[in-house]
Amino acid sequence: MKPRPPVTELSEEEQIFRDSVREFAEEVVRPRVAEMEADRKQPADLLAKLFEMGLMGIEIPEAYGGAGASFFMSILAIEELSRVDPALAIPVDVQNTLVINQFLKYGSEDQKQRYLPRIARDTVSSYALSEAGSGSDAFALACAAVPDGDDYRLSGRKLWISNAAEAGIFIVFANADPAAGYRGITAFIVERDMPGFQVGRKEDKLGVRASSTCELILEDVRVPRANVLGAVGQGYKIAIQTLNEGRIGIGAQMLGLARGALEGALAYSKERKAFGQPIGEFQAVQHLLAECATDIETVRLHVYNAARLRELGRSCLREGAMAKLVASRVAESVASRALDVYGGLGVTSECPAEKYLRDAKVAQIYEGTTFMQLNTIAKSLQKDGL
């Protein structure tokens, strides 16, 4: 029997793809990170570059204008971009692991023909589930969808929606039958220019500041029945499955962030001198860096394993939750320890570790909090054992 290759082993095609994204991140993105952080937005020309490179439609089949590549390549792209700037990785993550994922699994042929070419070519997309009273309790939705002839009329508000400022296409979850509870939740394809749809204020966040996070306001937005994604009442199933896989993308974000933080601290430890020698020659600093490197490799195994399982069409519910749980904790821990290596410089805005630490915190919240991941893992253990 042929032995299984290591989970972290990449094919030649995957290596070439990863290296091209890494080169882009280093040469094009890194010089502009400070600018994006200060301006709290992503420049249109950089987003256009993401489309030109095919990074906004990685898994979209070539027949619809996409790259026709794999989910695992999406994970590699998110990791490499996050190593330089996690904020710029967010549109790539949301587009590939949430929106495109939903279209490929649940979209009709008509919907794929109408929307996937736009998403692959030049249109940012967004995933709108959360509301003021509906975060971890994702199905306590107040946003309503009222049938009206060949349309539905959507009314309500969404909060904390990533990519909202730039997006032209939104997957909006609303309840088409409140009496049925979560069984009435339905996913709708909403376009930015539909009358009654409005992107509200942009949040001023702790981290990933260049990534837009906004409120959505829907006031009697008429959405054709042809824009129901999947079946009416199937929205809860779509949301659960999509988020299960999307969490692998968050794991990749935090894997890249942790790598970036450690690489910076390692380089600094060779430059900064104290007591007549580089601080990297002190055993205490060496041990700190070694622990960070070991933790990062643990995250890599979790994230890549979950992504490979998804590629094989196997369940990755538990593995995706574990990947997000471990990655979000390690990212914060590594960024904090990296900041320690910089000493006093670490708490200033000119130090990259300071930004990595702020950027890391959100991963313990969005696409399912740490506590929700623990719940998912615990339920899986109760049902299936180890």
Give catalytic residues, as residue numbers.
367
Tokens of 183: 């069984």
Tokens of 126: 């967004």
Distance CA 164, CA 310 (A): 27
Between the alpha carbon of residue 277 and those of residues 83, 282, 284, 304, 310, the distances in Å are: 29, 9, 14, 38, 48
Between the alpha carbon of residue 311 and those of residues 63, 69, 279, 314, 315, the distances in Å are: 20, 11, 43, 8, 10
* SS3 at position 151: strand
Distance CA 296, CA 184 (A): 41
> Which residues, at least 6 apart from 314, have a Cβ–Cβ distance to it below 8 Å?
none
Q: What is the DSSP string of 250-291?
A: HHHHHHHHHHHHHHHHHHHHHH-EETTEEGGGSHHHHHHHHH
